[in-house]
Amino acid sequence: MNRVSGIFRILRPGSIKIRMVGYLAVLYFAASWAVGDWISLARGLGIVILYALGDVVWTFLRDRKIYIPISSVISGFIIALLLNPRAPFIAVVGVALLAVFCKQVLHFGYHRHVFNPAAFALLSGSLLYSVFFSAPTSFLVSWWGVSWDVFAPLARLFGSPSIFFTLSLWLAVSGGFIVTSIRRWHVVVAFLATFAFLSTFSLVGANVALGDLPFVLKALLGDSTMLFFVTVMLVEPITSQFPKRWQRMAYGIAAAAVAWALGQATFWNIPVDSLMGGLLAANFAASLLFLKRAR
């Protein structure tokens, strides 16, 4: 009875996980439509199915139980939105399996997985692909699904490419509802404030006029990739959960600081996606400092 009631609790329409699945599914469909690439739509659904299936099989082999992998569906859609649509089949499968490995194995003695599975799979997959196939490390991660600007089909229908059809507005409004639902505004504000503060120094050092700074920062923080990152990936309920509010804020500050640092230079001549690198570094550091190990 408890297991059945738990399933209904997860699947109820008001569940944050169900809302996240719906939000990301609509966003993925809209992105495929906006760029006119229906093959990417099919490939993305394949990623979601492969990741969810791998998660279910691994859990069954270990615990002999079957559950509904809603979290894996969410991460699968994130991977589909960010993975390069031109990535070869082996990379698509590899990234999905790396996400399963991250969720199931990389606990480091804690009661939950440490890293955001989507970010870990995309970043580690990029590094492995570059090593074995001599490709740029930036090849696999394109953020294509959250990089388009105006939703052309609606703009053509209503005859005007107004702000109401822009992706940034959609992400800001929808993401705001998500962040409010999971009570993570303190994490988002901590990240954005830190990133803006550090970016101000680098922009001044690059001789950006003081009068132009507000406009440059607005473009930087209001970019659709940044909005998606802070309202979906940064505040992922499991990997952003720490016992105290100040610890969650410290996690956001750390993610911003490392993301900013990675954006300033490459290490060992290997370019790393700065937002994902910052997120994974903060995942690990905050878990090490603030989580108690499982007994």
Q: How confident is the model at residue 260 (pLDDT cuts 50, 70, 90)?
A: very high
In-domain check, residue 67: yes
Site of tokens 């505004």: 185
In-domain check, residue 136: yes
Is the pLDDT score of 229 beyond 90? yes
Which of these, 81, 99, 20, 107, lies nearest to 224 by C-alpha position? 81
In-domain check, residue 157: yes
Which tokens sit at 253? Answer: 């500050």
Q: How many CB atoms lie within 10 A of CB 159?
A: 7
Q: Give per-residue pLDDT as tens, 15-50.
A: 788 889 999 998 998 888 877 777 878 888 999 999
In-domain check, residue 295: no
Contacts of 203 (CB under 8 A, 6+ apart): 213, 216, 217
Q: For the chain, how many structural domains are there in total?
A: 1
Q: Across the chain, how many H-helices and E-strands are there? A: 13, 0
Q: How confident is the model at residue 4 (pLDDT cuts 50, 70, 90)?
A: very low
Which of these, 270, 268, 279, lies nearest to 234 by C-alpha position? 279
Q: Give per-residue pLDDT as tens, 193-226.
A: 999 999 998 888 888 788 888 888 888 898 899 9
* Host domain of residue 253: 2-290
Q: How far is the C-alpha of 81 from the C-alpha of 142, rounded, in Å?
A: 9
Which tokens sit at 239? Answer: 């990997």
Count CA atoms within 13 Å of residue 280 on its CB side. 17
Give the pLDDT score at 5: 43
Q: How far is the C-alpha of 108 from the C-alpha of 74, rounded, in Å?
A: 23
Instruction: Look up the pTM and report it.
Output: 0.88
